[in-house]
Structure 1
Amino acid sequence: MQSTDEMNINMGNSVSTLLLRSGLWDVGIQWAGFAVAAALKTEKFYDLAGSGTFLFLAIQTLRWGNTFYFRQKVQTGMVATWAVRLGLFLFTRVLQAGGDSRFDKVKHNPKTFFVYWTIQALWVWLTLLPTMILNSEKRDKPLGLRDYAGWGLWTAGFLLEAVADYQKTVFKADPDNAGKFISTGLWSISRHPNYLGEILLWAGLYLSSSSVMSGYQHLSVISPIFVYLLLTRISGVPILERQGMKRYGKDPAYLDYVKNTALLLPGFW
């Protein structure tokens, strides 16, 4: 009969093995995607590859863990739902636009393009970390407040992101709005409601998965922190704010919008 320490060691080894296996698949998929994208000099399936990797690893870690607890299935389903919606949305958008301006120079520079694909691998792995840990756990606990609060936060974030994306898509599709900026719907209370939704939903998934975590596993809180920093300090918000000021900076209405509309979280920031 195994002692408690031996059981903890075995479970720790199981988690580590699954995380390593996931990391290898993640990097392999992104580097294979880079090879094809670099050869074709296209960025059109970059976002689709990223969201597809989320979908693949969420399902595979559930299968590799082979416990299929209710909490694990709900969490995996939430990741899969998010990945399918966002992946198809971004892929459709880039096809309609004919490209992604972020990659205008990058896709012709293999070394820099490779860095972008490698960073995507890091984004996938770190963001999905709580879910991968949850799916590798052999222990189960009764559902509690953290589960319901986390799922509620994910639902709010998912709806916020999906509705914001839909509103902006409809706005841009209207010829009368050509050359204008969106300031209606959710965009009237936040300049980046879609990114707010993204941050909230990953925070919710960490919160629900943390209900079965112990010790070093709680370090996976880096997932929502990383998403927050990525969107507010590196990509996302900083880039769009610069583009907005460059495009509409001489428009008094836009300056008034920036002054009176929260950057991210209504009522706070």
Structure 2
Amino acid sequence: MFNVSLDFSGSAFTLNLLWSALGVIAVLAVTFLVALLQKRHSVIDTAWGVGFVVVAALSFIASSSTTADNGRRLLLLFAVALWGLRLAGFIGWRARDGKEDPRYQEMLSKAPGNPNVYALRRVYLPQGIVLFFVSLTVQIGMFATGTLGVIAWIGAAIWLLGLVFETIGDWQLARFKADPARRGTVLNTGLWRYTRHPNYFGDAAVWLGIFLIVADSWPGILSVLSPALMIWALAGKTGKPLTEARMSQRPGYREYVEQTSGFFPLPPRKPKES
């Protein structure tokens, strides 16, 4: 089921690593300048998706003169671009009021010394490293030479499922927040009835799908730690845990947790009898 080809252009890929790293640095540098102008570092959340698109585009260009499979290259470019631009557009639209995100406000209010320098060290540098590491799956896939097989098309289906899931989840949450009467309450309908984090689950499915598209051809399987880091961060580190910590004091949230799956979509559980 896996395509094995040893015709992998190692020299071109090594050069691509340098270009991709420079691309990530450029995106973060521009983002930092915008943050200084707008006086809010939450703009980096919008740049997150853009960074992946830039890396995918650079890798697509760098692999154009190699024997890499064009079908996989185009599929990866399309998958990353659609995911990244949708995410960036949604986060940018959500932050259209121009206010700093409370998470960054709290963190930077405790910063020793210059808050902007602290943000560079604690926000931009870690996100740049994670972005580059996770994108290794895409970078390797752009140079893979085997043709698309069954595993790759299964990956494409999982990617589509994840993209649709997070898009609908974000739309449902945006509609919920737009209603002043629902302020301070908990969204427990739609996809949010089956998982407390449809957006994070969708993201995880997207990156699992991208990995399978790449893992279908050698040496893509070696990039398994890249999507694993993304999924771990979403489910166990910065995504789900931090969101639930902020929501834990909201009325009705404890009951919501008892009835609703924490990550993978499942039928709601019956309320506990008092």
1 CA distance for matches of 2:267 and 2:186? Answer: 23
Q: Is the 8 A contact 1:43 1:107 kept in 2?
A: no
Aligned-pair CA distance for 1:33: 2.5
Is 1:119 matched up with 2:126? yes
2 CA distance for matches of 1:34 and 1:143? Answer: 39
Q: Is the 8 A contact 1:202 1:224 kept in 2?
A: yes
Is 64-73 or 158-167 further displaced after alignment?
64-73
Aligned-pair CA distance for 1:52: 1.6
Is 67-76 or 158-167 further displaced after alignment?
67-76
Structure 2 counterpart SS, 1:92: helix
Q: Please list the CA deviations of residues 221-265 of structure 1 after superposition, one character each: whole Å capped at 9, or x if unmatched.
A: 11221111111232111111111112x1xx3x3322111111001
1 CA distance for matches of 2:81 and 2:38? Answer: 28
In the other structure, the counterpart of 1:4 is none
Unaligned segments of structure 2, at least 5 residues: 1-5, 110-114, 269-274
In the other structure, the counterpart of 2:213 is 208
Aligned-pair CA distance for 1:159: 0.5
Unaligned segments of structure 1, at least 5 residues: 1-6
Q: Cα distance 1:266–1:36, how it changes in 2: closer, same or farther (>3 A)? A: closer
Where in structure 2 are the equivalents of 1:159-170 lying within 5 Å?
159-170=164-175
In the other structure, the counterpart of 2:32 is 34
Question: Considering only aligned residues, what root-mean-square deviation do their CA atoms show, in Å?
Answer: 2.2
1 CA distance for matches of 2:266 and 2:91? Answer: 29
In the other structure, the counterpart of 1:129 is 136
Aligned-pair CA distance for 1:190: 0.5
1 CA distance for matches of 2:22 and 2:267? Answer: 40
Q: Structure 1: which 4+ aligned runs deviate by more than 4 Å?
A: none
1 CA distance for matches of 2:38 and 2:257? Answer: 39
Q: Please list the CA deviations of residues 152-197 of structure 1 after superposition, one character each: whole Å capped at 9, or x if unmatched.
A: 0000000010000000001111122122110000001100111001
- Number of residue-to-residue matches in the alignment: 254
Counting helix residues as a fraction of each chain, which structure ranks higher? 1
2 CA distance for matches of 1:136 and 1:28? Answer: 23
1 CA distance for matches of 2:42 and 2:228? Answer: 28
Q: Please list the CA deviations of residues 68-94 of structure 1 after superposition, one character each: whole Å capped at 9, or x if unmatched.
A: 701210111010001111001001111
Letter in 2 for 1:72: R
Q: Is the 8 A contact 2:162 2:204 kept in 1?
A: yes
Aligned-pair CA distance for 1:15: 1.4
In the other structure, the counterpart of 1:73 is 74
Is 1:177 matched up with 2:177? no
